[in-house]
Structure 1
Amino acid sequence: MNGTKALEYLGQEDIDKFDRDGYLCIRGFLTPDETNGLLQRAKQLLDEFDIESHPKTKFTTGDDNHVGDDYFLTSGDKIRFFLEEDALDGQGRLTREKQKAVNKIGHGLHELDPVFRNVTLKNQRLKALVRDLQFHKDPVALQSMVITKQQHIGGEVPEHNDSTFLYTDPPSALGFWFALEKCATENGALSFLPGSHKTTQITKRFVRVPGGGTGFEELTTTADVPSQVKGDYILETCEPGDLVIIHGSVLHKSERNTSPNTRFAYTFHMIDSPPYAIYDEKNWLQPTPELPFSKILD
């Protein structure tokens, strides 16, 4: 609850909706100039991307085949490019131009690129929103991505919650997802299972495996898991500039992009910092001495 503290950006009805549903859509959060600036910078990065020196790392989302090479594991303080699963043929050659072969750009955009840094760490509206939400005591930003969802190839993202991949004890992940283009049914708009954050336990975490690679570590026994989360997914279409705040435990997904239109989005995540939540060395993404996780409310 927000108590008696005066709200700066959100209304109490917004806070209540987020608490009830586990996500909140805020229409027109970014200005048209901010939105276009992020979109054009993302396209510039794709144009400048050197495919010849790239290790051809693909981004996969299946539990048994998740990305986990060194290029991925050391990307937290860099700007790197991850290819769609269908972007390479059997000989490892691109099946399309490089700009349309990339699934996402990550994971240090919010730290290293001035355009993304301004929206993530310097945005006073966002700081006010975080203070109003009171989800964290001392939030830090730990990863950021542009997800391109390319036309006719942008892959499906199955049902998941973010705290599995950005685990803290206790769970504290919170996602900020900005639509940079129109997000509709045909090009992979997000869908949510409202209220699932209250009934879905975090049963596993995505970790670095000793000896190299990544995998999932079980956190609970089968007896601890709820029988099944019930309800209908809600598709949330978005216009450019819209923001969706995503609770780390809420179930969400997106379908494959079957349309002729891309679906660029920018997303970053916050967690709480010690002593409020512990982020340990098992997690796949790690801060470095040169680039620790940045505080949001400094």
Structure 2
Amino acid sequence: MHSKLLDEFNENGYIVIEDFLKPDEVDALYQAGRALCLDAPQSNRKIFSTIKAEDAHSKELYFMESGDKVRYFFEQGAIGDEGQLVVDPMIALNKVGHALHVEHPTFNALTFSNRVREICWQLNFNRPAVCQSMYIFKNSGIGGEVTPHQDSWFLHTEPNSAVGFWFALEDCTLQNGCLQFIKGSHKSGVHRRYQRNPDANASELMVYDRPAPIYPQSSFTPLQVNKGTCIVIHGNVVHKSEPNRSQKSRHAYTFHVIETENNVKYSEDNWLQAPQDKPFPLLFERKA
């Protein structure tokens, strides 16, 4: 990564690296994503949506305990009142997560590649660990909105250290819900937190600590990128994606890296917690 890209990252809160993936890598990841559709559960299907705080997944241990597993989350519009699928299984999923980087060889190979390590090195990580990964489908006509947020709401460290790697496996356009960013918003701190509910008796396992900020639509810059592009995302930069209203899906693979050296503390009230016997896997340790 050139110093120009590092300057861009510090200025805008994200960088776009075109042709990060070779065509055969894009194809392998995309085919792995399609195969996940066939592995999805046939009953007791779980929905994932970001539209409101009381979403079903905030009450679900299935979601909360998915950090070291491969679990399947369906689109709101894919499931009928009786829990039955009302769309083709190949377009029913919202995402699969959150341990593809450990449990699936295709995603593991990219996540722990030297290219990813090099970027983390250039971003001055000393002991980076991968804390979660997701395959995001954003299927045509059904792929739901992702409301404006900062990744640090969910993956909070003190001081903030989360960085997302987001790989386009199909071309991303305004019509199919490309990512949109507020340039420079990472400089304004963390605007809210998504935390484990301190009330052990509440039905909501997770709660937000304050209302959602209002971000003007005019502040967002859409990133229309070709498949194979990698977008590196600062944990504090505000971003979103609109619903997919097109006839083309927008598959993507994404994972998040955090700093784990001694002076950085991973928040104990984050939804995602590593099991005691399975710490977040390291990319490297920088030796003094």
Taking structure 1 as the reference length, the TM-score comes to 0.88
Deviations 1:95-140 (A, max 9, x none): 112221110000000011011001001x111111211122x32111
Question: What does residue range 213-292 of structure 1 map to in structure 2 within 5 Å?
Answer: 213-218=205-210, 232-292=219-279
User: Residue 132 in 1 paired to residue 122 in 2?
Assistant: yes
User: Residue 38 in 1 paired to residue 29 in 2?
Assistant: yes
Task: Give the count of matched residue pairs.
Answer: 279
Aligned residues of 2:9 and 2:15 also touching (Cα < 8 A) = yes
Q: Which amino acid aligns with 1:130?
A: C
Find the counterpart in structure 2 of residue 3 from structure 1. none
Q: Which amino acid aligns with 1:133?
A: L
Give 5+ residue unaligned stretches, structure 1: 1-9
Structure 1 residues 197 and 280: alpha-carbon distance in aligned structure 2, compared to 1, 3 A threshold: closer
> Shift of the alpha carbon at 1:233?
1.3
Q: What secondary structure does 2:157 align onto?
A: coil
Q: Which amino acid aligns with 2:98?
A: H
Structure 1 residues 231 and 13: alpha-carbon distance in aligned structure 2, compared to 1, 3 A threshold: farther
> Shift of the alpha carbon at 1:58?
0.8
Instruction: Quote the Cα distance in structure 1 between the aligned partners of 2:169 and 2:69.
Output: 22
Give 5+ residue unaligned stretches, structure 2: none
Deviations 1:230-252 (A, max 9, x none): 96311101111100000011111
Find the counterpart in structure 2 of residue 7 from structure 1. none
Find the counterpart in structure 1 of residue 161 from structure 2. 172
Aligned residues of 1:196 and 1:229 also touching (Cα < 8 A) = no
> Shift of the alpha carbon at 1:214?
1.2
Find the counterpart in structure 2 of residue 4 from structure 1. none
Cα root mean square deviation, aligned: 2.1
> Shift of the alpha carbon at 1:49?
2.1
Q: What secondary structure does 2:209 align onto?
A: strand
Structure 1 residues 254 and 166: alpha-carbon distance in aligned structure 2, compared to 1, 3 A threshold: same
Instruction: Quote the Cα distance in structure 1 between the aligned partners of 2:7 and 2:165.
Output: 18
Instruction: Quote the Cα distance in structure 2 between the aligned partners of 1:285 and 1:31.
Output: 31
> Shift of the alpha carbon at 1:35?
1.2
> Shift of the alpha carbon at 1:167?
0.8
Instruction: Quote the Cα distance in structure 2 between the aligned partners of 1:106 and 1:148.
Output: 12
Instruction: Quote the Cα distance in structure 2 between the aligned partners of 1:57 and 1:50.
Output: 9
Instruction: Quote the Cα distance in structure 1 between the aligned partners of 2:20 and 2:248.
Output: 22
Find the counterpart in structure 1 of residue 61 from structure 2. 70
> Shift of the alpha carbon at 1:50?
2.8
Q: What secondary structure does 1:204 align onto?
A: coil
Q: Which amino acid aligns with 2:140?
A: Q
Aligned residues of 2:129 and 2:259 also touching (Cα < 8 A) = yes
Aligned residues of 2:51 and 2:145 also touching (Cα < 8 A) = no
Q: Which amino acid aligns with 2:253?
A: Y
> Shift of the alpha carbon at 1:150?
0.8
Find the counterpart in structure 1 of residue 108 from structure 2. 117
Q: Which amino acid aligns with 2:29?
A: L
> Shift of the alpha carbon at 1:63?
4.2
Find the counterpart in structure 2 of residue 182 from structure 1. 171
Instruction: Quote the Cα distance in structure 2 between the aligned partners of 1:38 and 1:276.
Output: 35
Find the counterpart in structure 2 of residue 15 from structure 1. 6
Q: What secondary structure does 2:226 align onto?
A: coil
Structure 1 residues 105 and 227: alpha-carbon distance in aligned structure 2, compared to 1, 3 A threshold: closer
**Percent of pairs identical after alignment?**
37
Which segment is superposed worse, 40-49 or 201-210?
A: 201-210
Structure 1 residues 164 and 182: alpha-carbon distance in aligned structure 2, compared to 1, 3 A threshold: same
Q: What secondary structure does 1:282 align onto?
A: coil
Q: What secondary structure does 1:144 align onto?
A: strand
Q: What secondary structure does 2:107 align onto?
A: helix
Instruction: Quote the Cα distance in structure 2 between the aligned partners of 1:230 and 1:84.
Output: 24
Q: What secondary structure does 2:158 align onto?
A: coil
> Shift of the alpha carbon at 1:161?
0.6
Taking structure 2 as the reference length, the TM-score comes to 0.91
Aligned residues of 1:189 and 1:255 also touching (Cα < 8 A) = yes
